[in-house]
Amino acid sequence: MEIGKLIYDKRKEAGMTQEQLAGILNVARQTVSKWETGMTYPDITVLPVLAAYFDISIDELIGYEPQMEREEIQGWYLRAAKEFSDLPFDEALERCRQTAKKYYSCYPVLFHVGLVMANHFMMAETAEKSVEVLEEARELFRRVKSEAGDPLLGKEALQLEAFCLLNLKRPKEALGILGESVPEISSSEPLLAAAYQMNGNITESRRTLQIGIYKAVTGFCGLMTSYMSLPPKDLAYFDMICQRFEAVADAFRLDELHPGAILSCYVSMAGGWALLGESERALKALQRYTDIATGDVYPLRLRGDLFFDLLDEWLGQSQATEEYPPREESVIRRSMTQALTENQAFSAFSDNPRFKSMVDRLKDNEKEK
């Protein structure tokens, strides 16, 4: 926005006349008029006074919009995640806030500032601070959603706004922005693959379908984590859910492809069995969780295999942009232990030797780098 137009808009918002603004700035009314019509520009010495009076930055006043490139955003996110691991929480949070202020019009940056806040709010020392961080993250997502002009980024921002609302225990508001019916959106991969095939490019057709299948089976983990977290209908039905999950997980070797996602599934499974009073099955699921969590899965990242043999480039691009770990590795390892020790569903196992052995293994795993 032109500086003259901005001065005009801000003056009108404040309900001021040109003469009143001129008096505050110690200039003539005609000078303000010339600024607003673009005939002249404010002197550099007036800019700090104007910005302070209108409660905006000098950058915003003069229309300067700092930006970051995608690779820079990735680097910033990884540094910010590490700061939440290495620095006092409030100091890491303040650095995020300063980044949001500096890049107030770079919506991908604002999205990632909100993302790092949403991924670390649980590390705050008090519940009140966690709520404050979630509210700040939500406000960033709302701004991105309404102002970015990017449908894909806006959709992700909407989903993360809903994530914040759920963690704030406000499910009705989450339903209000998500809508209460599941949208019927089909995948584009089959059509794209068919087009490649008709064009004689079988390799690209196969790669496209592999991407679609990979997204489906890894997305399956997220859905099953949530489904197994619901109060079990009955033992037989929950057993069927677990059997189907493990059949798909084993068929696609999900513990190798996406270990981070499958770990959450086993925690949910163990919680369901515990609620049903099936202690042995719960401990078996937690044992599987512990074996994966303490295995050779770090750094957590997406992987291919013999079935997904054409995805190296796609996986590399995904992890170089949006799919890098949401938290620093030491925080992730610590959260692996907390998933057992801070889960009320497993409190009955606190004196169980097998459970204590799993916790010890997970704590030892926190020390490994």
Q: Are residues 114 and 235 in the same domain?
A: no
Is 116 within a domain? yes
- CATH number where 27 lies: 1.10.260.40
Is 192 within a domain? no
Q: Give the up-direction half-sphere exposure of residue 66: CA atoms within 13 A in the CB hemisphere.
A: 14
Cβ-in-10-Å burial (0-12, 13-18, 19+) of 200 comes to: exposed
Q: Are residues 356 and 243 in the same domain?
A: yes
Q: Are residues 95 and 159 in the same domain?
A: yes
Total length of the chain: 369
- The helix (run of H) or strand (run of E) holding residue 181 is none
Q: Are residues 230 and 207 in the same domain?
A: yes
Q: Are residues 103 and 130 in the same domain?
A: yes
Q: Are residues 137 and 255 in the same domain?
A: no
- For the chain (369 residues), the mean pLDDT of every run of 10, in chain order, is 83 90 89 89 86 82 74 88 91 94 89 94 93 96 91 90 93 87 71 91 94 91 93 93 95 88 93 95 96 83 86 71 60 89 92 95 83
Q: Are residues 137 and 210 in the same domain?
A: no
Distance CA 294, CA 222 (A): 21
Q: Are residues 317 and 295 in the same domain?
A: yes
Asked if 158 and 141 count as a contact pair (C-beta separation under 8 A), the reply is yes
Is 236 within a domain? yes
pLDDT of residue 323: 43
Q: Are residues 217 and 361 in the same domain?
A: yes
pLDDT of residue 184: 61
In tens, the pLDDT along 74-99 reads 889 989 988 998 899 999 999 999 99
* Preceding amide of 325 cis, omega within 30: no
Is 361 within a domain? yes
pLDDT of residue 97: 94
**Proportion of the chain in helix, strand, coil states, percent, rounded to 5:** 75, 0, 25
pLDDT of residue 2: 77
Q: Are residues 34 and 123 in the same domain?
A: no
Is 132 within a domain? yes
Closest CA to 161 of 80, 326, 153: 153
In tens, the pLDDT along 326-362 reads 667 788 888 899 999 999 999 999 999 999 999 999 9
Is 356 within a domain? yes
Is 52 within a domain? yes
Closest CA to 80 of 122, 106, 119, 130: 119
Q: Which residues are CB-neighbours of 179 under 8 A, at least 6 positions away?
A: none
Domain termination residue (choose one: 62, 93, 112): 62
Asked if 258 and 218 count as a contact pair (C-beta separation under 8 A), the reply is yes
Asked if 328 and 77 count as a contact pair (C-beta separation under 8 A), the reply is no
Is 187 within a domain? no
Q: Give the up-direction half-sphere exposure of residue 56: CA atoms within 13 A in the CB hemisphere.
A: 19
For the chain, report the end-to-end CA distance as a whole number of angstroms.
49
Q: Are residues 153 and 169 in the same domain?
A: yes
Task: Give me the number of domains the chain comprises.
Answer: 3
pLDDT of residue 357: 96
Closest CA to 311 of 168, 190, 234, 206: 206
pLDDT of residue 321: 41
Q: Are residues 225 and 132 in the same domain?
A: no
What is the residue range of 25's domain? 3-62
